[in-house]
Amino acid sequence: MAQAKVSNPRGLGDIPFQLPEVADTDKRRARRLYKSLAERYPEAHCELNYGSAHELLVATILSAQATDVGVNKATPALFKAFPTPADYAAVTPTDIEPYIKTIGLFRNKAKSVHAAMTTVADEFDGEVPQTMEDLLTLRGVARKTANVVLGNAFGINMGVVVDTHVERLSKRFGLVPDDATVQQVERRLMALFPRDKWCMLSHLLIFHGRRVCKARGGLCREDSICRRYCRVGKGEADT
Ligand code: SF4
Protein backbone atom coordinates (compact mmCIF):
# COMPACT_ATOMS: atom_id res chain seq x y z
CA MET A 1 0.00 0.00 0.00
CA ALA A 2 1.37 3.44 -0.90
CA GLN A 3 2.51 5.56 2.07
CA ALA A 4 0.35 8.67 2.51
CA LYS A 5 2.35 11.85 1.85
CA VAL A 6 3.13 13.80 5.00
CA SER A 7 3.16 17.58 4.65
CA ASN A 8 3.60 19.31 7.97
CA PRO A 9 4.18 23.07 8.29
CA ARG A 10 7.62 24.62 8.06
CA GLY A 11 9.89 23.56 10.90
CA LEU A 12 8.09 20.26 11.36
CA GLY A 13 9.12 18.62 8.10
CA ASP A 14 11.05 15.84 9.89
CA ILE A 15 8.00 14.68 11.85
CA PRO A 16 7.11 11.43 10.06
CA PHE A 17 3.34 11.63 10.54
CA GLN A 18 0.72 14.20 9.69
CA LEU A 19 -0.15 16.62 12.47
CA PRO A 20 -3.80 17.67 12.75
CA GLU A 21 -4.95 21.09 11.55
CA VAL A 22 -5.65 23.44 14.46
CA ALA A 23 -7.35 26.83 14.46
CA ASP A 24 -5.29 29.94 15.16
CA THR A 25 -7.64 30.82 18.05
CA ASP A 26 -6.86 27.44 19.65
CA LYS A 27 -3.13 28.05 19.18
CA ARG A 28 -3.39 31.47 20.81
CA ARG A 29 -5.33 30.05 23.76
CA ALA A 30 -2.76 27.25 24.12
CA ARG A 31 0.07 29.79 24.19
CA ARG A 32 -1.70 31.87 26.86
CA LEU A 33 -2.13 28.75 28.97
CA TYR A 34 1.56 27.88 28.48
CA LYS A 35 2.58 31.36 29.63
CA SER A 36 0.43 31.09 32.76
CA LEU A 37 1.85 27.66 33.62
CA ALA A 38 5.43 28.79 32.94
CA GLU A 39 4.97 31.79 35.25
CA ARG A 40 3.47 29.54 37.94
CA TYR A 41 6.11 26.81 37.70
CA PRO A 42 9.41 28.42 36.62
CA GLU A 43 11.23 25.51 38.28
CA ALA A 44 9.38 22.81 36.30
CA HIS A 45 11.72 20.02 35.29
CA CYS A 46 12.02 16.26 34.95
CA GLU A 47 11.59 14.91 38.48
CA LEU A 48 13.55 11.71 37.85
CA ASN A 49 17.13 11.94 39.14
CA TYR A 50 19.88 11.12 36.65
CA GLY A 51 23.43 12.14 35.74
CA SER A 52 23.67 10.91 32.16
CA ALA A 53 21.52 9.93 29.20
CA HIS A 54 21.70 6.21 29.97
CA GLU A 55 20.75 6.83 33.60
CA LEU A 56 17.71 8.83 32.45
CA LEU A 57 16.79 6.03 30.06
CA VAL A 58 17.01 3.45 32.87
CA ALA A 59 15.05 5.65 35.30
CA THR A 60 12.33 6.25 32.71
CA ILE A 61 11.97 2.54 31.96
CA LEU A 62 11.64 1.96 35.73
CA SER A 63 9.05 4.73 36.11
CA ALA A 64 6.30 3.00 34.11
CA GLN A 65 3.32 2.63 36.46
CA ALA A 66 5.53 3.75 39.37
CA THR A 67 6.16 7.09 41.06
CA ASP A 68 9.24 9.21 40.35
CA VAL A 69 9.82 9.35 44.13
CA GLY A 70 9.92 5.55 44.32
CA VAL A 71 12.27 5.33 41.34
CA ASN A 72 14.56 8.03 42.80
CA LYS A 73 14.89 6.01 46.02
CA ALA A 74 16.13 2.95 44.13
CA THR A 75 18.38 4.45 41.47
CA PRO A 76 21.35 5.78 43.54
CA ALA A 77 22.42 2.23 44.51
CA LEU A 78 21.55 0.89 41.04
CA PHE A 79 23.58 3.57 39.25
CA LYS A 80 26.52 3.02 41.62
CA ALA A 81 26.51 -0.74 40.99
CA PHE A 82 26.18 -0.31 37.19
CA PRO A 83 27.96 2.89 36.14
CA THR A 84 27.86 2.22 32.37
CA PRO A 85 25.62 0.37 29.86
CA ALA A 86 28.38 -2.27 29.54
CA ASP A 87 28.10 -2.98 33.27
CA TYR A 88 24.42 -3.93 32.86
CA ALA A 89 25.27 -5.98 29.78
CA ALA A 90 27.88 -7.95 31.74
CA VAL A 91 25.32 -9.33 34.22
CA THR A 92 21.93 -11.04 34.00
CA PRO A 93 18.50 -9.49 34.69
CA THR A 94 18.43 -11.46 37.96
CA ASP A 95 21.49 -9.52 39.14
CA ILE A 96 19.65 -6.24 38.55
CA GLU A 97 16.47 -7.27 40.38
CA PRO A 98 17.68 -6.74 43.99
CA TYR A 99 18.32 -3.04 43.25
CA ILE A 100 14.82 -2.35 41.94
CA LYS A 101 12.64 -4.76 43.88
CA THR A 102 10.84 -1.89 45.65
CA ILE A 103 9.46 -0.80 42.24
CA GLY A 104 6.37 -2.42 40.73
CA LEU A 105 6.84 -4.97 37.92
CA PHE A 106 10.53 -5.17 38.85
CA ARG A 107 11.22 -8.55 37.24
CA ASN A 108 10.00 -7.42 33.85
CA LYS A 109 11.72 -4.05 34.24
CA ALA A 110 15.02 -5.78 35.11
CA LYS A 111 14.73 -7.66 31.82
CA SER A 112 13.97 -4.44 29.91
CA VAL A 113 16.82 -2.49 31.53
CA HIS A 114 19.24 -5.33 30.87
CA ALA A 115 18.17 -5.74 27.23
CA ALA A 116 18.09 -1.99 26.52
CA MET A 117 21.53 -1.40 28.07
CA THR A 118 22.95 -4.45 26.25
CA THR A 119 21.73 -3.03 22.94
CA VAL A 120 23.16 0.40 23.78
CA ALA A 121 26.51 -1.20 24.67
CA ASP A 122 26.64 -3.57 21.68
CA GLU A 123 24.89 -1.69 18.87
CA PHE A 124 25.48 1.96 19.75
CA ASP A 125 29.04 1.95 21.17
CA GLY A 126 27.74 2.50 24.68
CA GLU A 127 26.03 5.81 23.76
CA VAL A 128 22.27 6.27 24.03
CA PRO A 129 21.01 6.88 20.48
CA GLN A 130 19.65 10.35 19.72
CA THR A 131 16.91 9.46 17.24
CA MET A 132 13.35 8.33 17.84
CA GLU A 133 13.80 5.51 15.35
CA ASP A 134 16.83 4.04 17.14
CA LEU A 135 15.41 4.54 20.63
CA LEU A 136 12.27 2.62 19.67
CA THR A 137 14.45 -0.44 18.90
CA LEU A 138 15.33 -0.74 22.62
CA ARG A 139 13.31 -3.08 24.82
CA GLY A 140 10.97 -1.28 27.19
CA VAL A 141 11.10 1.94 25.15
CA ALA A 142 7.96 3.33 23.51
CA ARG A 143 7.35 6.90 22.30
CA LYS A 144 6.78 8.27 25.79
CA THR A 145 10.15 7.04 27.12
CA ALA A 146 11.92 8.05 23.91
CA ASN A 147 10.44 11.57 24.17
CA VAL A 148 11.61 11.86 27.81
CA VAL A 149 15.17 10.93 26.84
CA LEU A 150 15.35 12.99 23.64
CA GLY A 151 13.82 16.09 25.25
CA ASN A 152 15.62 16.06 28.59
CA ALA A 153 19.01 14.45 27.90
CA PHE A 154 19.57 15.87 24.41
CA GLY A 155 17.25 18.88 24.03
CA ILE A 156 15.64 17.29 20.97
CA ASN A 157 11.88 17.84 20.57
CA MET A 158 10.44 15.00 18.47
CA GLY A 159 7.15 14.78 20.36
CA VAL A 160 5.37 15.49 23.64
CA VAL A 161 5.53 13.17 26.65
CA VAL A 162 1.93 12.13 27.35
CA ASP A 163 1.67 10.57 30.79
CA THR A 164 -1.48 10.30 32.90
CA HIS A 165 -1.26 13.94 34.08
CA VAL A 166 -0.66 15.32 30.59
CA GLU A 167 -3.56 13.32 29.19
CA ARG A 168 -5.97 14.30 32.01
CA LEU A 169 -5.10 18.00 32.01
CA SER A 170 -5.05 18.29 28.21
CA LYS A 171 -8.64 17.06 28.27
CA ARG A 172 -9.76 19.17 31.24
CA PHE A 173 -8.17 22.30 29.78
CA GLY A 174 -10.00 21.63 26.52
CA LEU A 175 -6.79 21.29 24.49
CA VAL A 176 -7.91 17.94 23.09
CA PRO A 177 -11.27 16.17 22.82
CA ASP A 178 -12.35 14.06 25.80
CA ASP A 179 -12.28 10.88 23.76
CA ALA A 180 -8.80 11.45 22.26
CA THR A 181 -6.39 8.51 22.43
CA VAL A 182 -2.87 9.02 23.81
CA GLN A 183 -1.58 9.18 20.23
CA GLN A 184 -4.19 11.81 19.30
CA VAL A 185 -3.38 13.82 22.44
CA GLU A 186 0.33 13.91 21.54
CA ARG A 187 -0.26 14.91 17.93
CA ARG A 188 -2.71 17.68 18.78
CA LEU A 189 -0.39 19.10 21.46
CA MET A 190 2.43 19.06 18.89
CA ALA A 191 0.19 21.02 16.51
CA LEU A 192 -0.97 23.50 19.17
CA PHE A 193 2.34 24.42 20.81
CA PRO A 194 5.63 25.70 19.33
CA ARG A 195 8.16 22.90 18.89
CA ASP A 196 10.71 24.41 21.27
CA LYS A 197 8.09 24.22 24.04
CA TRP A 198 7.14 20.52 23.68
CA CYS A 199 9.46 19.15 26.38
CA MET A 200 8.71 21.89 28.91
CA LEU A 201 4.96 21.68 28.18
CA SER A 202 4.78 18.20 29.62
CA HIS A 203 6.80 19.25 32.70
CA LEU A 204 4.42 22.16 33.27
CA LEU A 205 1.30 20.02 32.93
CA ILE A 206 2.82 17.33 35.19
CA PHE A 207 3.75 19.96 37.82
CA HIS A 208 0.17 21.33 37.78
CA GLY A 209 -1.22 17.79 37.83
CA ARG A 210 0.86 16.78 40.86
CA ARG A 211 0.42 19.96 42.83
CA VAL A 212 -3.08 21.21 42.03
CA CYS A 213 -5.04 18.73 39.95
CA LYS A 214 -4.61 15.49 41.83
CA ALA A 215 -6.47 12.61 40.18
CA ARG A 216 -8.85 12.69 43.16
CA GLY A 217 -9.73 15.92 44.93
CA GLY A 218 -8.21 18.64 42.79
CA LEU A 219 -8.26 22.25 44.01
CA CYS A 220 -10.99 23.16 41.52
CA ARG A 221 -12.26 26.76 41.77
CA GLU A 222 -9.46 27.76 44.18
CA ASP A 223 -6.83 28.06 41.48
CA SER A 224 -6.61 30.94 39.00
CA ILE A 225 -5.30 28.82 36.10
CA CYS A 226 -7.99 26.22 36.73
CA ARG A 227 -10.75 28.84 36.88
CA ARG A 228 -9.60 30.36 33.62
CA TYR A 229 -8.88 27.27 31.56
CA CYS A 230 -10.57 24.20 33.04
CA ARG A 231 -14.25 23.55 32.50
CA VAL A 232 -14.32 21.78 35.88
CA GLY A 233 -12.81 24.81 37.62
CA LYS A 234 -15.47 26.98 36.02
CA GLY A 235 -18.12 24.71 37.52
CA GLU A 236 -19.29 23.44 34.15
CA ALA A 237 -18.62 19.80 34.93
CA ASP A 238 -17.77 17.51 37.76
CA THR A 239 -14.40 15.95 38.52
S1 SF4 B 1 -10.15 22.83 37.92
FE2 SF4 B 1 -9.96 20.93 39.04
S3 SF4 B 1 -10.08 19.36 37.46
FE4 SF4 B 1 -9.60 21.27 36.43
S5 SF4 B 1 -7.38 21.34 36.26
FE6 SF4 B 1 -7.93 22.41 38.13
S7 SF4 B 1 -7.85 20.93 39.79
FE8 SF4 B 1 -7.92 19.82 37.82
- Using H for helix, E for strand and C for coil, what is the string for 164-196? HHHHHHHHHCCCCCCCCCHHHHHHHHHHHCCHH
CA of 179 to the centre of ligand 1 (A): 18
CATH 1.10.340.30, the chain: domain bounds: 53-154
Q: How far apart are the first and last CA of the chain?
A: 44
- CATH for 53-154 is 1.10.340.30
CATH 1.10.1670.10, the chain: domain bounds: 24-42+160-229
pLDDT of residue 239: 39
Is 134 among the residues known to form the active site? no
pLDDT of residue 236: 56
Mutate to test the pocket of ligand 1, among 33, 171, 172 (most ligand atoms within 8 A of CB): 172
pLDDT of residue 86: 98
Q: Which of 140, 163, 157 is nearest to 12 (CA)?
A: 157
pLDDT of residue 214: 78
**In angstroms, rounded to a whole number, what is the distance separating the alpha carbons of residues 106 and 99?**
9
pLDDT of residue 2: 52
Q: Please identify which of the residues 163, 196, 197, 214 carries the catalytic annotation.
A: 163
Q: Is 90 in the pocket of ligand 1 (CB under 6 A)?
A: no
**In angstroms, rounded to a whole number, what is the distance separating the alpha carbons of residues 213 and 132?**
31
Q: Please identify which of the residues 109, 144, 197, 223 carries the catalytic annotation.
A: 144
Task: Given CATH 1.10.1670.10, say whether it is the number of domain 24-42+160-229.
Answer: yes
- Point out the ligand 1 atom lying closest to the alpha carbon of residue 223: 6
pLDDT of residue 221: 81
Cβ burial 177-199 (10 Å sphere, 16+ → b, else e): eeebeeeebbbbbbbbbeeebbb
pLDDT of residue 220: 83
CA of 123 to the centre of ligand 1 (A): 45
CA of 164 to the centre of ligand 1 (A): 14
The residue ranges of the chain whose pLDDT is under 50 are 237-239
Closest C-alpha to ligand 1, atom 3: 232
**In angstroms, rounded to a whole number, what is the distance separating the alpha carbons of residues 194 and 217?**
31
Q: Is 239 in the pocket of ligand 1 (CB under 6 A)?
A: yes
**In angstroms, rounded to a whole number, what is the distance separating the alpha carbons of residues 140 and 147?**
13
